[in-house]
Structure 1
Amino acid sequence: MSRGAALRGRGFAVRRRTRRNRRPGPPGPYALLPILLLGLGSFSNLWQGETPNPWVGGAGLLAFNSLYVSVVFRGFDRKRRESATSYALLAAMGAITFGLAIGYGGNWLLFFPLFSLACGTILRGRQLGAGLTALAGCACAVAVWRGDHVSEPWTIGYGTFISGAVTAAILTLSETVTELRATRQELARSAVEQERLRFSRDLHDLLGHTLSVVVVKSEAARRLAPHDMDAAIEQITDIESVGRQALTEIREAVTGYREGSLATELDRARPVLAAAGIEAVVHRSGPPPAPQADALLGWVAREAVTNAVRHSGATRCEFVLDSASERVRLTVTDDGAGPSRPGGGAGGTGLKGLSERLAAAGGSLESGPGADGGFVVEAELPAGVRDGPGLRDTC
């Protein structure tokens, strides 16, 4: 088989799969055009010369069909459908319908169902119900007055009402389906954006902390190597352990199942701060926080430790956990200069991301210079915070 034939065969298979997987869309205005065939009886009357003043009847038939096409196409565009022009065209169409039905009767009475169908494409709600009821009553009355139609007068009234009602119902359902599809696409796009945001935040917090620990321990190993090789090797071993732990955490962050805790982060923080020459002090009061609050506070502690190690030049870092029945508060205070940012602001990308995380859980995060110097990070959360919209993605 030639290369061209193979490409054509693959292209045909792709098109066939596309057609098979394509979902049917809502009906378009062209689907309502064949219904104009109901006017063939009146056209036959004109052709056979059975209609008096045929030029008037022909002009009315042409005007009705033109208005019908225009109204139907406008009915599939919400902005055009609700404009004053659509109602004006519908009124002109109604005047022609009544004129032809009253003047000629017989097959010309079938213009009432056609006019009702056009009403179903434009009118909605109470307007539609009142309009179709009045139109069906008028159609029935004209049929009784003329008395020259092949079917009973009530069938003209019923057909007039049901054609408009069914058309409006189908179009409303189609619009709803279209809106639901658009909403589903928007939700899918939003879910992707939230997942990207979660991953970027986790990656920033994980790598920022891990690389800071590696730098601090590498500096310690470099200082110790000329004097105490055993201590330097111990620092290098810690670097290996931190790297392995970082790989595990990154895998967990990618899969979205990473769960931390404040106690774990504080245990990891002690040797990191000690290697940087910072004394870690921890004070706890009250019952343990709920798991989700504990996980969020763990992120706060991690980011505070990272900033203290990288930016502060501190000698002491104090962690105070105050857990009450309604709120839980974690305050991290160091005696250093605080993290610096271009422009002189306090905090960084990590603290900003944490502020958004805590806000999504009903909490708050404040950071800045302390009253007695140093830098303070204070996080507060509801004591009973649980999983909620957007919270799982941030933990």
Structure 2
Amino acid sequence: MSGRLFLSPPHMTGNEQRYIAEVFESNYIAPLGPMVTRFEQAICDYTQAPYALGTSSGTAALHLALRVSGIGEGDIVLASSFTFIGSVAAILYQRATPWFIDAEMASWNLSPELLEAAIARSPKPPKALIVTHLYGQCADMARITEICRRHGIIVIEDAAESLGATLDGVHTGIWGDFGIYSFNGNKILSTSGGGMLVAKNGEAIKKAMFYATQAKEPTPWYEHKELGYNYRMSNVLAAIGVAQMEVLSERVAQRRQIFEWYREALGEIDEITFMPELPGAHGNRWLTTLTFGHTDPERVRTALEAQDIESRPLWKPMHLQPLFAGADAVTDGASEQLFLRGLCLPSGTQMGREDVLRVSDIVRGAVV
């Protein structure tokens, strides 16, 4: 690839422009329309989710899941700490109280053991859990869902980064009561913006649709008894999503191939450890991520940047963010170490082996 090598740029090579042209010809360019319905159905067909709702973003989908679940002021919502702010911002939207849970080193995702500890320490029963599937890799959902069901906790999966990933043959996003996907510009499936809420309960999706369309009552005029939001997906963006779904399996295979190329090039270096994959899991490897034993990741990042190659530190844990100063958290230091020692490497599906080798040579040269 020529020019700057980005971390995870969009990849448009299929029927995107054809389907967008159909939208313009139909004049359905506002939210809602046939392409939105088609995109929702494509997600259901691919993941086996019973119901789906296209939204303006993954964060909007998370907010709707919390709202439909009855989460409100003072309720405790457990959440992965090692994640992006969009995973947990909606907790504050509902004036609920976040309680953060650290990662386990076996998956870099939420620790089932610490989940049990958080539930035991909570001053009142937690209402819900938002669990993130980080960097396209599956959390230990069999254990996590068993724990939550035993305690009557609603499970919301943040599968924003993990569309196409499976654990024991089951897609991320449909293990719990709700799941969300993101189609932001850097995701494995990109519509430039947008998200999807999936659920097992059709009535819950129907209520989420009501809230997502300004909570308008079924009258000829605009009547509102409840607060709603402008959270529906554009028909134009959905057209891009329909085209992207046609090549999603290919994109997952490409990301996994890129990871294998990195592992072949760097795997023998004792200093480097790649993000692990749980037994029975098939992650989408949205980003290839690794940690260093002694080398400062910033040294590697700046070496790559000097060659016009984008890389990025791993997520700074939510319990270390100034916004959440004083928030409750059950931690054992895992996510803090990952943040201090880790880096995300370029993983876009337009990369070839020569691009991976170029990045790997710079990484190798920066290792001390």
TM-score of the pair, normalised by structure 1: 0.21
Structure with the higher fraction of residues in strand conformation: 2
Return the structure number with greater relative CO, CA threshold 8 A, min gap 6: 2
TM-score of the pair, normalised by structure 2: 0.22
